[in-house]
Amino acid sequence: MHLSDVVEASGAVRATTSRKKKISAIADLLGRAEPEELAQVVAWVSGELPQGRIGTGWRTLTAVQVPPASEPTLSVGAVDGAFTELAGVAGSGSTARRKELLGSLFAAATAAEHEFLIRLLGGEMRQGALTAIVAEAVAVAFDVPIDLVRRAHMLSGRLPVSALAAREGGAEALARFRLEVGRPIQPMLASPGTALDEAMAEFGGQVSVEHKMDGARIQVHRDGDEVHIFTRTLREITSSVPELVDLVRAMDCTSVVLDGETLALDDSGRPRPFQETMSRFGAASAQELLLHPYFFDCLHLNGDDLLDVPLRERREALTKVAGGLAIPALLAPDAEAAAEYFDGALASGHEGIMIKALDAPYAAGRRGRAWQKIKPTHTLDLVVLGAEWGYGRRTGYLSNLHLGARDPDGGDPIMVGKTFKGLTDALLQWQTAEFPRHERQRDEHTVYLRPQLVVEIAIDGVQVSPRYPGGVALRFARVVRYRPDKEPAQADTIDAIRDLLPAGAAADAAVVSDDASRGGVLGDGGVLGDGGGPAER
């Protein structure tokens, strides 16, 4: 298969907003790939590289100036080989060598292939083919149930591996995937809850009520004395958190997989700021700041996989193996006890509480109603699309943020609001230094970014609005913090934001969204909570 085949399919995906057509285009491409090419093609249309990071930042890519080839000749295998060679470049002279390799690759690529390679290597595959859609395309291409593809993907952590299994062995091969101790799986995710009483009522009170901690998600694997610790994005951090490794090794078990949070505590036992916890994850070794784990789920214990058993049984296993490291929880409490627990969580410095259905299995990689986070105010994880230059005391700083929600169908993030509220002087300085590294383009007033940064935004609500293409706008949005532990693919979706609208208004927002997408974003007048404009001037 030639690279041009992948580029052509990518172009077809980018040209349509139809989920069905996206899936069909990718499925046709996957069906034509040879077995030895399939993993690479699946990774590329998912916007990923099998080699991981290969040292080709945006500035490196744009510095390569070579004329394009007139005819497509590059094969998938040749391009993958070039990526592998780039990944191995290190040491003295690596910058020049990397530029030389990129120059050779781009000289053999057509103009369309140039564009594709730059977006792929630059981490900006804005073609609407996110992993969820590629997974559905795998199911169509190889005539296997989508649920089996999703489960195999979540258990393997690698969609290309699942795709190859589907091609070679069909449904039977996919069904053989199991949780493997030492190999991270996609974590189960929570949805924003509207109110404590509503969440309790939804499950008839059969819930676990737990503290929602302002920590960093971790997944712990132990097999004998071998321990691995992974972040939310499945990045291994074992070497930088030896105190957590020691705690896990001390547990009375032979093998275990735990899901939880870790955070740094001050001398009084209250949680330190999230950024202090995250600072440990980038360290090469232990620092003076020690982390404390709070485990809230047990996915495997002593040879038994527990993903499919109800939470009440997983909770028993958790308490047995983790003891005092298990996060405290109220099981099936009455409304009064749950409300008191909520107040206590806030008083202890936590974000709020989690409501989890006791009868639900662990849905790896899925965001559903079985887990709901209840906070005093709604918070959303959104993608930063750009920032406007400030006025007054903020002159010279990138200030007013453009905020986007994730498109569940894999398209570009959908703008839902702006804000400059909540930005401290330190954040203004950080944004102004950091944002140009992610710059896509700029004009006189705004620096537009590639969708790579996630920010947590507190809001007082959502309203139907024709101003933005999603048909909704945020009310009184303000910055809480940046989320270096999250990737844009883990941001909240436009559907999740519409779910926060008053009853019956979601359909109105969808209609407004359709109108906006046909006629462009309407106006640029203010909505409640938007930053910039006259308010900032």
Span 113-140, pLDDT tens digits: 988 988 888 776 654 457 889 999 999 9
Question: pLDDT value at position 155?
Answer: 86
Asked whether the predicted pLDDT for residue 387 surpasses 50, the reply is yes
Report the 3 state secondary structure along 305-364: ECCCCCHHHHHHHHHHHHHHHECCEEECCCHHHHHHHHHHHHHCCCCEEEEEECCCCCCC
| Mean pLDDT value across residues 214-219 | 87
* 21/27 Cα distance (integer angstroms): 10
Mean pLDDT for the chain overall: 85
Residue 272: pLDDT over 70: no
140, 86: one domain: yes
CB 223 within 8 A of CB 399: no
> Any idea which residue has 């999230």 for tokens?
274
**Pick the catalytic residue: 20, 21, 22, 212?**
212
C-alpha span between 75 and 12 (Å, rounded): 19
Q: Residue 490 sits in a domain of what CATH number? A: 2.40.50.140
Render 4-22 in DSSP notation, one character per residue.
HHHHHHHHHHHT---HHHH
Residue predicted with more confidence, 301 or 85: 301
Residues 155 and 138 in one domain: yes
365 and 388 assigned to the same domain: no
Q: What is the pLDDT of residue 287?
A: 52
Where a domain ends, among 175, 206, 235? 175
CB 511 within 8 A of CB 472: no
Q: Rounded to an integer, what is the distance from CA 6 to the centroid of its chain?
A: 25
At 223 the pLDDT is 97
160 and 200 in a common domain: no
**Can you give the pLDDT at residue 176?**
92
In a 10 Å sphere around its CB, with 0-12 CB exposed, 13-18 middle and 19+ buried, how is residue 8 labelled? middle
pLDDT of residue 189: 87
Determine, yes or no, domain membership for 316: yes
Distance, in Å, from the CA atom of 480 to the CA atom of 459, rounded to the nearest integer, reads 10
The first and second tokens of residue 376, run together, are 């005093």
pLDDT tens, position by position, 1-19: 999 999 999 999 988 888 8
- 343 and 394 housed in the same domain: no
Would residue 450 count as lying in a domain?
A: yes
Q: By C-alpha distance, which of 163, 162, 164, 68 is closest to 116?
A: 68
CB burial readout 185-224, b (16+ within 10 A) else e: bbbbbbbbbeebeebbebbeeebbbbbbbbbbbbbbbbee
Which pLDDT band, with edges at 50, 70 and 90, does 534 fall under?
A: very low
> pLDDT at residue 187 above 80?
yes
- Could you identify the residue written with the tokens 């705690």? 247
Are residues 402 and 319 part of one domain? no
What's the whole-number mean pLDDT along residues 477-497? 90
308: domain CATH number?
3.30.470.30
Rounded to an integer, the average pLDDT of 295-305 is 96
What is the per-residue pLDDT across 136-165, written as a single tens digit (0 to 9) for each?
Answer: 999 999 999 999 999 899 888 789 999 999
Paired tokens of 408: 């569940």
Q: List C-alpha distances in Å: 110 to 7, 66, 304.
A: 10, 11, 52
Task: State mean pLDDT over 386-402.
Answer: 92
Calculate what percentage of the chain has a pLDDT beyond 70: 86
Q: Is residue 362 part of a domain?
A: yes
pLDDT score of 531: 43
Task: Clarify whether residues 321 and 389 are in a common domain.
Answer: no
Mean pLDDT, range 292-299, rounded to an integer: 94
Domains: count for the chain: 3
> Could you tell me if 105 and 240 lie in one domain?
no
Residue 424 contacts by C-beta under 8 Å, 6 or more apart in sequence? none
Pair (313, 271) in one structural domain? yes
Instruction: Return all residues near 527 (Cβ < 8 A) that are at least 6 apart.
Output: 417, 463, 465, 467, 473, 474, 475
Q: Which of 117, 142, 175 finishes a domain?
A: 175
Residue 221 located in a structural domain: yes
Mean pLDDT computed over 43-48: 90
The yes-or-no verdict on residue 50 having pLDDT over 80 is yes
Is 180 among the domain residues?
no
Task: Choose one of 374, 392, 414: the last residue of a domain.
Answer: 374
Structural domain includes residue 183: no
The CA distance from 321 to 323, in Å, is 6
Q: Mean pLDDT, to the nearest integer, of 330-350?
A: 90
Token output for 127: 């073609």
Q: Is the pLDDT of residue 507 over 50?
A: yes
- Location of structure tokens 């002087």: 425
For the question of residue 418 being annotated catalytic, the response is no
- Let me know whether 226 and 115 are in one domain: no
Q: Which of 463, 471, 474, 472 is nearest to 515 (CA)?
A: 471
Per DSSP, the chain holds a count of helices (H) and strands (E) of 19, 19
Buried b (16+ CB within 10 A) or exposed e, 428-456: beebbeebeebebeeeeebbebbbbbbbb
What distance in Å separates the CA atoms of residue 5 and residue 529, rounded to the nearest whole number?
46
Question: Is 184 contained in some domain?
Answer: no
SS3 annotation, 421-462: CCCCHHHHHHHHHHHHHHEEEECCCEEEECCCCEEEEEECEE
Task: Give phi and psi for 53, each to the nearest 5.
Answer: -70, 130
Q: Same structural domain for residues 116 and 35? A: yes
- Report if residue 182 sits inside a domain: no
- Look up the domain containing 140 and give its range: 3-175
Q: In this structure, are 405 and 267 located in the same domain?
A: no
Q: Is the sign of the CA dihedral 224, 225, 229, 235 positive or negative?
A: negative
- Whether 309 shows a pLDDT value over 90: the answer reads yes
